[in-house]
A and B are shown apart, each in its own frame.
Chain A
Amino acid sequence: MFSDELRKIDWDKTTEKIYSSTDADVRRALSKDKCDVDDFMALISPAAEPYLETMARLSRKYTLKRFGKTMSMFIPLYLTNSCTNSCVYCGFHVSNKMKRTILKPEEIENEYKAIKKLAPFENLLIVTGENPVAAGVDYLAKALDMAKPYFSNLKIEVMPLKAEEYAELVRHGLNGVICFQETYHEKNYKVYHPKGMKSNFEWRLNGFDRMGQAGVHSIGMGVLIGLEEWRTDVTMMAYHLRYLQKTYWKTKYSVNFPRMRPAENGGFQPNVIMSDKQLAQLTFAMRIFDHDVDISYSTRENASFRDHMATLGVTTMSAESKTDPGGYYTYPQSLEQFHVSDERTAAEVEKALKKLGVEPVWKDWDQSFDHKSA
């Protein structure tokens, strides 16, 4: 389990190491064909800032080589904002006085139909808050079953599950799981996630092992930028990624760097603000560190930034996302989990990508691959 590995890595020493990276460390990392985590630390450090253009070139080169001129497109669907957790930064916080919705089967179906009218989306990401009683594994299984006629690749972003629960959902057509660790700083994790199931750091952290054990095809990782020192947090994620790649080698991985904006959701103020330049540096560094990992940008990022990064390292994008349950059809006006910056329609995003010479790929999987021989 990764918790055993993480225990061996000291947070403060890692931070110190990142910030003491030298020009020579950066140049060495840039000259390698394959970088290790030490190199990654140099590439995300302030010492690498003068090399941003070089990093962009390398990132573009590796991305082109591995992914070509394509962008994988997906769309999230929130099934519920009901949540028993109290993450201090989240709009769905348990004590937020708001209307809670759990979409009913017929509403879910309407959402699927509405999404298909936006664009030829085939990659669907089903999102829920954490309410295992009202929207647990059975509920998700049902949603997956219903999604099959509409979408060829199904992912979920929900509470961490047991290995056998992931396996059960795989039998219902689940292809991938996205889960953000939020932060790898164990002590402060408890401050941000004081109550509910999510307050259990280790349960969440080792959730990735359980996904691997259950044979989930694709695992998405992420840290929430705005909680702790982002350079240290993404370094921990780099260690985690390497560990998972070695252990669950049949799985495909993706990374996300969702960043909080000041005063997002009214209450919580992020502890650190990451600039566009820093996010670009991190994206380039991740691509140089790992030529194969999917790098995903959501509509949290604005249109101009997404378009620029579309040829420089990003390989997966959402478009026209609604981050509230039923936002596509049933409840078009309900409260979002976070504010979407890129408000273009999927068709507009598609047009913009094509103008950049990037082909949006809607379908890249077939359900026939999921048929297990009995």
Chain B
Amino acid sequence: MHTNQKLVIAGREFNSRLFLGTGKFDSNELMEKAIIASGTEMVTVAMKRIDLDNKDDDMLQHIKHPGIQLLPNTSGVRDAKEAVFAAQMAREAFGTNWLKLEIHPDPRYLLPDSVETLKATEELVKLGFIVLPYCQADPVLCKHLEEAGAATVMPLGAPIGTNMGLKTKEFLRIIIEQSNVPVIVDAGIGAPSHAAEAMEMGASACLVNTAVAIAEDPEAMAIAFKKAVEAGRTAYEAGLGTQSINFEAQASSPLTDFLM
């Protein structure tokens, strides 16, 4: 059967289906410990947090590890034009064409701008970027992003940083069902149980940041998420059993008597 399927994005294999964000930690040391403990192989970093001219930037030094794919994100940009410019800066500075595209013109809820995100994805793919767009849990938008050449889609479970869990569950379900590219649930995952739930539904991976960063013990919380993501994935691949009872013993067969 289909157990232990590796996650593949743009031809690269990942052993871990947990992606980690690097904001909100109280020190770069703690962040590094959490990264290592989580077993993640994909770490996103806001390019606005990094001193792009300084090769020895402290935060970056704590993120860079062999086997970890650095995923610069454009957090802070407000439209496609800014995103394309920022992406080119990031490619130069980080030496990678992988990009987490984030466009949120709204500073309160940091909700992704669907129109600009699609525009920027089209453009960036043409420029040779491997684009992982953060987006609304909008199944039609996700198909458009896929057609534009996005390497994954990263729909939100709930607004960033809210730890509210999978508020968009029914839409995520449709996105997962329809997608030809990996679906990474991003934003809103506030507890390991949320991550497990997303993975049980068939999400390809989860991106977690706030829940780990603001935990009393980020390193331990990273381990908890690692286990939750693995458990959820294994359950998905093993074929989840009965969730609802759609059937009961039937004494008579009124609908199918005509076939007897």
Contacts and interface: CB of A to CB of B under 8 A. Distances in A.
Interface of A: 27-28, 30-34, 38, 51-54, 56-58, 60, 245-247, 249, 276-277, 280, 304-305, 308, 312
Interface in B246-260: 246-247, 250, 252-256, 258-260
A69 to B, nearest CB: 15
Nearest to B180: A246
B259 A57 contact: no
B27 interface: no
Contact of B243 (A31, A51, A57): A31
A308 B258 contact: yes
A308 B255 CA distance: 8
Given A31-B241, A53-B255, A276-B259, A246 B178 contact: yes
Nearest to A245: B178
A27 B242 CA distance: 8
A276 B173 CA distance: 35
20 contacts: A30-B247, A31-B242, A32-B240, A33-B244, A38-B239, A51-B247, A52-B253, A52-B259, A53-B250, A53-B253, A56-B253, A57-B247, A246-B178, A246-B180, A247-B180, A249-B178, A277-B259, A277-B260, A280-B256, A280-B259
Given A34-B173, A53-B250, A60 B239 contact: no
Contacts of A245: 178
Nearest to A247: B180
Contacts of B58: none
B179 interface: yes
B246 A56 contact: no
B258 A246 contact: no
B243 to A, nearest CB: 6
B170 to A, nearest CB: 10
Contacts of A277: 259-260
A126 to B, nearest CB: 31
Contacts of B143: 249
Interface in B161-196: 173, 177-180
Given A34-B177, A249-B143, A304-B258, 18 more contacts: A28-B242, A30-B246, A31-B241, A31-B243, A31-B246, A31-B247, A32-B240, A52-B256, A53-B250, A54-B246, A56-B253, A58-B247, A246-B179, A247-B180, A276-B259, A277-B260, A280-B259, A312-B255
Contact of B256 (A28, A32, A34, A56): A56
B259 A31 contact: no
Interface in B205-260: 239-247, 250, 252-256, 258-260
B38 to A, nearest CB: 30
Q: Give the interface SS of chain A, mostly helix, strand, loop or mixed.
A: helix
A28 B241 contact: yes
Nearest to A312: B255
Interface of B: 143, 173, 177-180, 239-247, 250, 252-256, 258-260
Contacts of A60: 255
Most chain A beta carbons < 10 A, residue from B240, B245, B259, B260: B259
Contact of B247 (A38, A54, A246): A54
A114 to B, nearest CB: 34
A52 B247 CA distance: 11
Nearest to A58: B246
Contacts of B260: 277
Nearest to A307: B258
A305 B244 CA distance: 31
A273 to B, nearest CB: 15
A356 to B, nearest CB: 12
Contacts of A27: 242, 247
A249 B177 CA distance: 11
Nearest to A309: B258
A113 to B, nearest CB: 38
In the complex, the 9 A-B pairs of residues with the closest C-beta atoms, listed nearest first: A53-B253, A31-B242, A56-B255, A54-B247, A277-B259, A308-B258, A56-B256, A53-B256, A53-B250
B179 A31 contact: no
A33 B260 CA distance: 28
Nearest to B239: A28
A89 B252 CA distance: 40
A58 B250 CA distance: 13
Contacts of A305: 258
A51 B256 CA distance: 10
A264 to B, nearest CB: 22
A28 B244 CA distance: 10
A300 B29 CA distance: 73
A51 B239 CA distance: 20
B258 to A, nearest CB: 5
Contacts of A51: 247
A292 B252 CA distance: 28
Contacts of A30: 246-247
Nearest to B242: A31
Contacts of B254: 53
Contacts of A54: 246-247, 250
A3 B245 CA distance: 38
Contacts of B173: 34
Contacts of B246: 30-31, 54, 58
Contacts of A304: 258
Contacts of B179: 246
Contacts of B256: 52-53, 56, 280
Nearest to A308: B258
B52 to A, nearest CB: 39
Contacts of A32: 240, 243
